[in-house]
Amino acid sequence: MQLYNKLSAKEREALIEQAGEERLTLSFYKYAKIGNPQLFRNHLFVAWDNMNVLGRIYVAHEGINAQLSVPAKQFSKFKAFLDDIYFLENVRLNIAIEQDDKSFLKLKIKVRSKIVADGLNDKSFDVTNRGVHVDAEQFNALIEDPDTVLVDMRNHYESEIGHFKNAVTPDVDTFRDSLDIIEADLKAHKEDKKLVMYCTGGIRCEKASAYYKHKGFKNVYQLDGGIIEYTRQVNEKGLENKFLGKNFVFDHRRGERISNHIIARCHQCGDPCDTHVNCANEACHLLFIQCEKCAEKMNDCCSDHCKEVIKLPYDEQKKLRAGKRNSNKIFKKGRSPVLKFKSLNTKLVNK
């Protein structure tokens, strides 16, 4: 029985091209009590591998968080499989706004302590006592209320390329960093302000809203389904779109265009740009914003050093990165000192 991916990304990409079949990029999450996450993980892998499903999935005792690429012809079978799992029956599937057959190139299902790294002690509060879920129309009305504080629960590199009009965008690297900062900055307004939150698909707000209610906030709201579901409803119902720019996504697309506004700039020259790329030097792989002009000038690299490294024979490049970990640098997402026009946002929460 195969329980792990055995193909490289390049091999999988070639198979996708050969198949020439349409694939759907989607995501879903569900907080639920899973007694044996490892057994559940293996069950998912066997079933989804047989359906040629790809993606990044986290399973924990508290539930599941999944971002997937599913062959369109297998969608009905995939949906039926989910509906046969009691806590996933009719779970909302957030279908991507912009589709890409190569959004994911491997099937990775990992058992984690939590489905989102929040740093919280869940035993100290009721995680089911969540904020009020609002749809796109209700959300649009709420964020025009002068007594509302609208908070982006995502990280700085996500909000840098796109966010809602008048949203507070905490300058944080991780979700866990934002929780205490927001509470401290809004502590004087726990009763007189409406705290309205949003994130990509809703999962971060699901936990955060319960946390803030536990901390004494009286009026807590969250955008149901996040930016992805908001955009679907705006398009379907003809509502005013109050989101500016791109929605950052955690797959090979790196972003979905929600509006024509370009609110970010190239980290190398400062020109308007909201295209995230990874440095071509695999020993670096830094994620940053780069325009086409700089990509050509820098050979898709973040620095002159990396530009020189990729000129070396592959074996020499491999030796240079042997035994080194670069994930911490990668996830600084544009804060590297080699980037002249990196994000310098220090805005926290407007009182």
- pLDDT tens readout for residues 108-164: 999 999 999 888 888 888 888 999 999 999 999 999 999 999 999 999 999 999 999
Enclosing domain of residue 85: 9-111
Cβ proximity of 329 and 336 under 8 Å:
yes
Coil vs helix vs strand at 275: coil
Coil vs helix vs strand at 33: coil
Residue 155 lies in a domain: yes
DSSP 236: H
Q: At what angle do helices 175-185 and 203-214 cross, to 10 degrees?
A: 40
Answer yes or no: do 185 and 232 share one domain.
yes
Answer yes or no: do 135 and 104 share one domain.
no
What is the CB neighbour count within 10 angstroms for residue 349? Answer: 19
Answer yes or no: do 187 and 273 share one domain.
no
Answer yes or no: do 150 and 203 share one domain.
yes
Residue 245 lies in a domain: no
Alpha helices for 6-87 (secondary structure H): 9-19, 37-50, 75-83
How would you classify the pairing of strands 162-164 and 107-111? unpaired
Nearest CA to 289 out of 261, 306, 270 is that of 270
Question: Tokens 């996504």, residue?
Answer: 249
pLDDT digits (tens, 9 = 90+) for 7-51: 888 888 888 988 889 999 999 999 999 999 999 999 999 999 999
Residue 2 lies in a domain: no
The residue among 125 and 296 whose pLDDT is bigger is 296
Answer yes or no: do 310 and 270 share one domain.
yes
| Final residue belonging to a domain, choices 53, 87, 111 | 111
pLDDT score, position 71 = 96
Cβ proximity of 295 and 275 under 8 Å:
no
Mean pLDDT of 238-260: 94
**Which amino acid, 43?**
H
Identified catalytic residue from 199, 205, 266, 273 = 199
Q: Does residue 264 register a pLDDT over 60?
A: yes
Q: Calculate the average pLDDT of the chain.
A: 90
Q: What is the pTM of this model?
A: 0.87
Cβ proximity of 171 and 200 under 8 Å:
no
The residue among 333 and 261 whose pLDDT is bigger is 261
Residue 4 lies in a domain: no
CATH code (residue 20): 3.30.70.100
Q: Read off the tokens for 218.
A: 């009286």
Q: What angle do CA 224, 225, 227 make, to 5 degrees?
A: 105
- The pLDDT-based confidence of 306 (bands split at 50, 70, 90) is very high
Residue 251 lies in a domain: no
The verdict on whether 294 is a catalytic residue reads no
Q: How many domains does the chain have?
A: 3
Nearest CA to 67 out of 18, 37, 113, 100 is that of 100
Q: Read off the tokens for 51.
A: 């359906």
Answer yes or no: do 126 and 33 share one domain.
no
Kind and range of the H or E run holding 24: strand 23-31
Answer yes or no: do 41 and 88 share one domain.
yes
Computed on alpha carbons and rounded to an integer, the radius of gyration of the chain in Å comes to 21
| Final residue belonging to a domain, choices 111, 143, 169 | 111
Of how many residues is the chain composed?
351
What is the CB neighbour count within 10 angstroms for residue 315? Answer: 8
Q: What angle do CA 38, 43, 46 make, to 5 degrees?
A: 120
Answer yes or no: do 184 and 89 share one domain.
no
What is the CB neighbour count within 10 angstroms for residue 192? Answer: 9
pLDDT score, position 324 = 64
Answer yes or no: do 38 and 64 share one domain.
yes
* Distance, CA of 283 to CA of 302 (rounded, Å): 12
